[in-house]
Amino acid sequence: MRRKIAAGNWKMNGLRADLAELENLSTDPGVDVLICLPATLIAAARDLPIAIGGQDCHDATNGAHTGDISAPMLVDAGASYVLTGHSERRSDHAETDADIAAKSRAAHDAGLTTIICIGETLAIRAAGTTLDIIDGQLAGSIPDCATADNTIIAYEPVWAIGTGKVPSTEQIAEVHAHIHARLKERFSDGADFGILYGGSVKASNAADIFAVPHVTGALVGGASLTAADFSPIITALAAS
């Protein structure tokens, strides 16, 4: 049975005082709640009653990589999850599918669960090649060592991230069904992989999104910064 997961991504936001928001989050025994924090906040949040994740990791365990953070460092700080392949890493840092697969392998070796992000731009959606791009990202970004226990997929259409635009439930259903089918083809436990939706998820649309087949949770950006915005999403997921 795939667990329901409500994951927040604070991106480059938050100081230690803001961690008080996490103490007020709604919880439910049927939902795993986690927040992917800036590296500066992970150790300070490690004793909170939710899971903590990093937002990226290097594919090396150590070395001359100024400004980077390794997967073992994340574990040492208190993280149990890490994002790889977020669209902002792909665009801002020119990360390739091969880069993301290497980072995900390093994360698995360190004992982290990876949330591997995939998704299309508006131009790709308009061209009608979304599923082709999704196929390439799935094949190239997920390492062969991935299992349903150490890997979660997050579908985030780039054009919906932080824009307020949300795909129709039919569009979400098409992509999530496609991802599910591809995972079943490639992995013996592929049917058990969690598949999150991300992209302008908020309290007002969460219930409709969680009713879509093969949506097992959400990766939430701006709405995860406050308990008032994130808690209703967690509640909607618990009720789905």
Asked about 156 being catalytic, the answer comes back as yes
List the helix and strand counts (H, then E) for the chain.
Answer: 9, 8
CA 160 to chain centre: 15
Burial 10-34 (b: 16+ CB within 10 A, else e): bbeebeeeebebbeebeeeeebbbb
The strand pairing partners of 197, in sequence order, are 155, 218
Cβ count near 185 (within 10 Å):
9
* Alpha helices (H) in the chain, listed in sequence order: 39-45, 71-77, 87-92, 97-110, 122-127, 130-141, 169-186, 203-210, 227-239
Q: Among the options 86, 108, 176, 214, which is catalytic? A: 86
Backbone torsions φ then ψ of 31, nearest 5 degrees: -130, 130
Torsion of CA 198, 144, 61, 42, to 10 degrees: 30
Active site residue 86: yes
Bridging pattern class, strands 4-9 and 113-118: unpaired
- Which candidate in 21, 58, 156, 180 is catalytic? 156
Active site residues: 86, 156
